[in-house]
Amino acid sequence: MNDTSYKSLSSWIPVPAGCDFPIQNIPFGIIQSKELPPRAASRIGDTVIDLYHLAILGYFHDLHFEPEVFLKSSLNDFIALGKPTWRAVRSRLTELFESGNPTLRERKKDHSTILHSIDDVEILLPVKIGDYTDFYSSIEHATNVGIMFRDPANALLPNWRHIPVGYHGRSSSIVVSGTPIYRPKGQTKSDDADYPLFGPSNQLDFELEMAFITGKSSSLGDSVPVQQAEEYIFGMVLFNDLSARDIQKWEYVPLGPFLGKNFGSVSSPWVVTLDALEPFRVKGPKQEPRVLPYLQSTGDRNFDIQLDVLIQPEGGVAHQVCHSNFKYMYWNMAQQLAHQTVNGCNINVGDLYASGTISGPASDSFGSMLEIAWKGTKPVRMPDGSERKFIHDNDTIIMRGYAEKEGLRIGFGEVTTKILPAK
- Residue 207 in contact with Mn ion, rule: CB under 5 A: yes
Beta carbon of residue 357, minimum distance to Mn ion (angstroms, whole number)? 6
Beta carbon of residue 33, minimum distance to Mn ion (angstroms, whole number)? 33
- Residue 205 in contact with Mn ion, rule: CB under 5 A: no
Q: Which of 36, 37, 15 is nearest to 26 (CA)?
A: 15
- Residue 371 in contact with Mn ion, rule: CB under 5 A: no
Residue nearest to Mn ion as judged by C-beta position: 241
Q: Give the contacts of 129 (CB within 8 A, at least 6 positions apart).
A: 171, 174, 213, 350, 351, 352
Count of positions on this chain that bind Mn ion (CB under 5 A): 3
Are the C-beta atoms of residues 337 and 295 closer than 8 Å to each other?
no
Are the C-beta atoms of residues 72 and 29 closer than 8 Å to each other?
no
Closer CB to Mn ion, 116 or 141, in the complex: 141
Closer CB to Mn ion, 241 or 351, in the complex: 241
Q: Give the contacts of 193 (CB within 8 A, at least 6 positions apart).
A: none
Are the C-beta atoms of residues 235 and 153 closer than 8 Å to each other?
no
Candidates 19-27, 71-79, 236-244, 330-338; binding stretch for Mn ion (CB under 5 A): 236-244
Catalytic residues: 141
∠ CA 250-164-309 to the nearest 5 degrees? 65
Beta carbon of residue 207, minimum distance to Mn ion (angstroms, whole number)? 4
Closer CB to Mn ion, 77 or 207, in the complex: 207
Closer CB to Mn ion, 239 or 402, in the complex: 239
- Residue 134 in contact with Mn ion, rule: CB under 5 A: yes
The torsion angles phi and psi of 234, rounded to 5 degrees, stand at -80, -50
The only residue of 241, 251, 351, 395 in contact with Mn ion, by rule CB under 5 A: 241
Closer CB to Mn ion, 39 or 339, in the complex: 339
Beta carbon of residue 173, minimum distance to Mn ion (angstroms, whole number)? 13
Candidates 63-71, 171-179, 204-212, 371-379; binding stretch for Mn ion (CB under 5 A): 204-212
Are the C-beta atoms of residues 173 and 261 closer than 8 Å to each other?
no
Beta carbon of residue 206, minimum distance to Mn ion (angstroms, whole number)? 10
> Which residues contact Mn ion (rule: CB under 5 A)?
134, 207, 241
